[in-house]
């Protein structure tokens, strides 16, 4: 039996995240976004020979339409990788990106590969939530199964009710997310992890009949808003329940974006004299009742810590996906998470949540953030809830 070996993250990048469906990246195809971050990740390790890449594993929550046809293989070919490199698209909804990182790391840990790319891509502008054709199993509407069919917002309302998370607490959490994200952008925190993207906008001059093309370089996340206030959020109507507390303002944004991570074995690390950003540690996923899917990280976080032989206090940075303020607060409250360690640069309420890409994007934020802050040797986590009732958590050690 082969001895388990270490897997190291040597590159991590992402696109800026655009708002969907009418934001700055609405016309950027998800396979093009994927190709862009693959090239961007390789640019961080120019000494690495792309021919050594064994496989590209890509998370995508709605793998159809423009992000169908095994978008992983299409994206890697568009990026110019050798024909010999394989590609596979995986789907565990919101955790698809971090699941891709875990699967890529496991191939290396088992000695089956020396170089892997893990990524995620999602255009919610082009392929909406639930996909282009909703075809639910009729059995989902029988009493014993009906919770599977609950919309995400309704599950958030259930969490808010069961955990007594007030509207004021949710709105305050949302404001803090925007404030942290804006401060991070102002401080240039994301510059090292974002690979700027050029987009061409074409408009018609009706008077002359000319088509005017303007090139724009996108290098900043579109979601954070300086005008987000408690007063403003308090005026928003609830959208999922008549007497509820969950609004568009205290929920994650629909988004477009992609991220990519390169993982290598210790042999490759030494052969190409690469500097690791982090060591992959472990990953766990746990199921919870679908009607309270947002509580998923409460089960996944302890499971991942147990696998790693760590305690919660060993975590120095936690990227907890803010699908909804209600579920994030419920998870933090039940586990007693240190709020100062959770999403120090803001979260999905401000920065966006491009579904299957989020895990890869948040991994890029985590490893670069810990490197910038001199947190070598310390542990970080990416965790999120998952539609249909699951939670996932991945752990890395900064180097």
Could you report the per-residue pLDDT of 76-98, keeping only the tens digit for each? 999 999 999 999 999 999 999 99
pLDDT band for position 342 (cuts 50, 70, 90): very high
Task: Report whether pLDDT(215) > 80.
Answer: yes
- What is the percent of the chain with per-residue pLDDT over 70, rounded to a whole number? 99
pLDDT band for position 1 (cuts 50, 70, 90): low
Active site residues: 94, 353, 385
For residue range 243-274, list pLDDT tens digits in order.
999 999 999 999 999 999 999 999 999 999 99
Domain boundaries of the chain, sorted by first residue: 7-129+252-398
CB contact at 8 A, 98 and 390: no
In terms of Cα–Cα distance, which of 43, 366, 331, 345 is closest to 178?
345
Q: How confident is the model at residue 145, as a pLDDT? A: 76
In terms of Cα–Cα distance, which of 98, 72, 148, 114 is closest to 265?
114
Residue 64 DSSP label:
S
Task: Report whether pLDDT(134) > 70.
Answer: yes
What are the residues whose beta carbons fall under 8 Å from the beta carbon of 273, sequence distance 6 or more? 47
Q: How confident is the model at residue 399, as a pLDDT? A: 98
The strand ranges marked E within 114-244 are 115-123, 197-205, 210-218
Q: How confident is the model at residue 213, as a pLDDT? A: 87
Q: How confident is the model at residue 283, as a pLDDT? A: 99
Residue with tokens 């909703």: 134
Give the mean pLDDT of 363-392. Answer: 98
Average pLDDT, the chain: 96
Q: How confident is the model at residue 14, as a pLDDT? A: 99
Partners of 123 in beta bridges: 256
Write the DSSP string, 269-292.
HHHTT---SEEEEEEEEEE--GGG
Rg (CA), the chain: 20
How would you class 2 by CB atoms within 10 Å of its CB: exposed for 0-12, middle for 13-18, buried for 19 or more?
exposed
For residue range 109-131, list pLDDT tens digits in order.
999 999 999 999 999 999 988 88
Give the mean pLDDT of 170-196. Answer: 99
Cα distance between residue 282 and residue 24, in whole Å: 35
Task: Report whether pLDDT(290) > 90.
Answer: yes
Cα distance between residue 129 and residue 256, in whole Å: 12
Partners of 285 in beta bridges: 392
Task: Report whether pLDDT(141) > 80.
Answer: no
Fold of the 7-129+252-398 domain: Peroxisomal Thiolase; Chain A, domain 1 (3.40.47)
């Amino acid at each position: 039996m082969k001895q388990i070996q270490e897997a190291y993250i040597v590159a991590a990048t992402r696109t800026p995240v655009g708002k969907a469906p009418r934001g700055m990246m609405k016309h950027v195809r998800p396979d093009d976004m994927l190709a862009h971050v693959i090239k961007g990740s390789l640019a961080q390790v120019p000494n690495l020979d792309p021919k050594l890449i064994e496989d590209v594993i890509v998370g995508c929550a709605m793998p159809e339409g423009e992000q169908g046809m095994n978008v992983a293989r299409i994206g890697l070919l568009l990026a110019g990788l050798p024909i010999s490199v394989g590609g596979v698209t995986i789907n565990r909804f919101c955790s698809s990106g971090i699941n891709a990182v875990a699967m890529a790391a496991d191939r290396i840990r088992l000695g089956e590969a020396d170089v892997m790319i893990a990524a995620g891509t999602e255009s919610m502008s082009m392929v909406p939530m639930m996909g282009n054709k909703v075809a639910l199993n009729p059995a989902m509407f029988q009493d014993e199964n009906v919770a599977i069919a609950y919309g995400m917002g309704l599950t958030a309302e259930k969490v808010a009710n069961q955990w007594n998370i007030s509207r004021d607490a949710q709105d305050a959490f949302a404001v803090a997310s925007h404030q942290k994200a804006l401060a991070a952008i102002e401080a240039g925190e994301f510059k090292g992890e974002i690979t700027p993207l050029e987009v061409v906008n074409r408009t018609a001059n009706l008077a002359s009949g000319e088509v005017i093309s303007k090139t724009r370089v996108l290098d900043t996340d579109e979601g954070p808003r300086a005008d987000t206030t408690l007063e403003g959020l308090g005026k928003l109507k609830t959208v999922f329940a008549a007497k509820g507390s969950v609004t568009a303002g205290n929920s994650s944004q629909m988004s477009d974006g992609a991220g990519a991570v390169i993982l290598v074995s210790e042999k490759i690390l030494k052969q190409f004299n690469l500097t690791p950003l982090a060591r992959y540690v472990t990953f766990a996923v746990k199921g919870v009742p679908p009607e309270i899917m947002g509580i998923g990280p409460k089960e996944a976080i302890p499971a991942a810590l147990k696998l790693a032989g760590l305690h919660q206090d060993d975590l120095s940075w936690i990227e907890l996906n803010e699908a909804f303020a209600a579920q994030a607060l419920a998870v933090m409250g039940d586990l007693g998470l240190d709020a100062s360690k959770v999403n120090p640069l803001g979260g999905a309420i401000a920065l966006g949540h491009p579904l299957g890409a989020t895990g890869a994007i948040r991994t890029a934020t985590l490893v670069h953030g810990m490197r910038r802050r001199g947190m070598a040797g310390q542990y970080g986590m990416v965790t999120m809830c998952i539609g249909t009732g699951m939670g996932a958590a991945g752990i890395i050690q900064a180097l």
